[in-house]
Amino acid sequence: MFLGFGPEAFWWFDGLGRDNSREYFTRTRDLYEREVRGQLEALLLELGGGDTKVFRQHRDLRFTQDKRPYKERTYGHAGRLFVQLSSRGLYVGTGYYRVEPDQLERYRAAVGDDESGPLLEAALAKARLDVAGASLKTAPRGYARDHQRIELLRRKQLIVGKSLPPGGGIRRDPALELARGVRTRSAPVLAWLDEHVGESTAPAERRGRRR
C-alpha cells in the first residue's frame, strides 16, 4: 500500500547530492528501497492505467564524462503518467517525450494551423498545468518569429505536469490527488496530440536521429 513519502526519502536525496558514491548508496540501500523506490512503486501500482515501471537508479556511464554512478532522481511511469521523486519533491507529468521527425512535422503543422492550433491553446489553458519540454531558441524553419503561437511552435517536446515540494514529507492523499489531477486535466491535451501527431510512422532504424 502506498503510504506517502516521509522526510527520510528526501533526506536520502539530500545525502546523495552531497555524496554520490557507491559507498553512500550501499550504506543507505535499505532506506532507499523502503522509502524511495518502494513507495514510488506502490504509488504507481495504485495509480494503474497501464504498465507500471520504476527505472534503475544507476546511471549509464558509457557515453558521458560525468562519472557519478547514481541518478539524483527516481522515476517511473504508470501507463502514460510519468512520476518522479527527487530532493525537489514529487513531479507528475505526461505528454510526448520522444518526438521523431515525422511527429514533429505533424505537430508544427497542426500548431500553425488556424483551426487546430487554437484548440491546443485552449486545452492547455483549461488544464492549468506547467508546460515543459525541449525547445528551439528561435523559430523553426518555415515559420515566422512573430507567429502568434511561436512558443508552442518552438517546442520539440510537449509535456504538461505539476509538482509538490517536499516540505516535511509528502503524505499519501496529496500525492494521489496530484497524480490523479494531472491525469484528468491533461486528457484533452493528450487527445489533441494523439489526433494531430500520433505515433511515428518512420522505420525503427531511422528513429532517434537529430532534427
Categorize the per-residue pLDDT at 208 as very low, low, confident or very high, splitting at 50, 70 and 90.
Answer: low
> How does pLDDT run across 117-127, given as a tens digit for each residue?
999 999 999 99
The three-state secondary structure class of 209 is coil
> How does pLDDT run across 72-126, given as a tens digit for each residue?
999 999 999 999 999 999 999 999 998 999 999 999 999 999 999 999 999 999 9
- pLDDT value, residue 211: 41
- C-alpha to C-alpha distances, 54 to 3, 71, 79, 114, 136, nearest whole angstrom: 17, 13, 12, 40, 30
Domain 4-58+67-200 in CATH 3.30.1460.10? The answer is yes
Residue 25: enclosing H or E segment and its boundaries? helix 22-27
CB 70 within 8 A of CB 58: yes
For the chain, what are the domain ranges?
A: 4-58+67-200
β-bridge mates for residue 80, sequence order: none
Rounded Cα gap, residues 173 and 49, in angstroms = 18
Percent of the chain whose pLDDT exceeds 90: 91
> How does pLDDT run across 152-162, given as a tens digit for each residue?
999 999 999 99
pTM attached to this predicted model: 0.92
Average pLDDT, the chain: 95
- pLDDT value, residue 50: 85
Label residues 169-187 b or e (16+ Cβ within 10 Å = b): ebebeebeebbeebbebbe
